[in-house]
């Protein structure tokens, strides 16, 4: 404030010399009014940015930690699964929120959102294993690992992004009659993963 008064004391005589009737109090009041307008506008921008961050979940680290995610593996080989049977990845590595059940092979969505799923099938030579991702038993996408005519292991991985509502159930199921052999052991070669899809906030001011 002292700096503003000093500047006014310099500008006042200069303007008066050129025919402007001004006073130090008038200039100070004008400057203060402009400063208040700038601060008010700045506060509005901060408020808008805060709202955007809150909606994205970036403003609250605890909210970020609550985002559901899991990573599970298959601990032993599965053979002769029937059509539409759920594949149960039973070795849990990560299960934030515990929304995936290794006992049932079901992931139940805790809230509306966009989710990304990834699962891998590894089948031995002379065998075949085909699966599909289903949400509420609705076909979303398939995954084919076919080594029937190949003398080596064949691996196939599928990545899917899907919209889910709270309470929706996602499962990996055998597709058709091709649940012959899904290789699994202690080396964590056959995983399934999920996390809520992370959108990138490109700009605060759109």
pLDDT tens digit string along 114-136?
A: 999 999 999 999 999 999 999 99
Same domain? 110 vs 191: yes
CA distance 33 to 52: 29
Q: Is position 206 within any domain?
A: no
CATH code for the domain in which residue 115 is found: 2.60.120.40
Question: What is the residue range of 183's domain?
Answer: 66-196
pLDDT digits (tens, 9 = 90+) for 36-80: 676 666 666 666 656 655 665 544 555 555 789 999 999 889 999
Q: Which residues contact 30 (CB under 8 A, 6 or more apart)?
A: none
Q: How confident is the model at residue 185 (pLDDT cuts 50, 70, 90)?
A: confident
Determine, yes or no, domain membership for 107.
yes
| Residue 49: its H or E element | helix 24-56
61 inside domain: no
Query: Is 125 within the bounds of a domain?
Result: yes
> pTM for the whole thing?
0.64
Number of neighbours of residue 55 by Cβ within 10 angstroms: 10
Contact, 166 vs 64, CB < 8 A? Answer: no
Looking at the structure, tell me whether residues 10 and 83 fall in a common domain.
no
Domain count, the chain: 2
CB 150 within 8 A of CB 125: yes
Residues 116 and 145 in one domain: yes
User: Comparing 83 with 58, which gets the higher pLDDT?
Assistant: 83
Shared domain for 115 and 71, answered yes or no, is: yes
Residue 205 within a domain: no
- Pair 140, 81 in one domain: yes
Based on the fold, state whether residues 32 and 114 are members of the same structural domain: no
- The DSSP call for residue 111 is S
């Amino acid at each position: 404030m002292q700096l503003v008064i000093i500047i006014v004391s310099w500008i006042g005589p200069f303007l008066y010399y050129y025919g402007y009737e001004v006073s130090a109090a008038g200039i100070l009041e004008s400057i203060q009014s402009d400063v208040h307008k700038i601060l008010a506008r700045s506060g509005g921008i901060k408020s808008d940015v805060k709202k955007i961050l809150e909606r994205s979940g970036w403003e609250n680290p605890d909210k970020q930690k609550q985002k559901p995610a899991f990573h599970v593996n298959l601990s032993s080989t599965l053979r002769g699964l029937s059509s539409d049977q759920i594949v149960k990845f039973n070795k849990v590595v990560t299960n934030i929120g515990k929304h995936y059940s290794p006992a049932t092979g079901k992931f139940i969505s805790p809230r509306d959102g966009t989710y990304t799923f990834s699962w891998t099938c590894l089948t031995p030579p002379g065998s075949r294993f085909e699966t599909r991702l289903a949400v509420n038993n609705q076909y979303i996408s398939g995954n084919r690992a076919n080594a029937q005519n190949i003398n080596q292991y064949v691996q196939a991985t599928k990545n899917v992004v899907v919209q889910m509502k709270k309470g929706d159930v996602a499962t990996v199921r055998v597709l058709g009659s091709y649940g012959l052999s899904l290789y699994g052991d202690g080396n964590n070669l056959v995983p399934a993963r999920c996390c809520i899809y992370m959108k990138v906030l490109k700009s605060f001011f759109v």
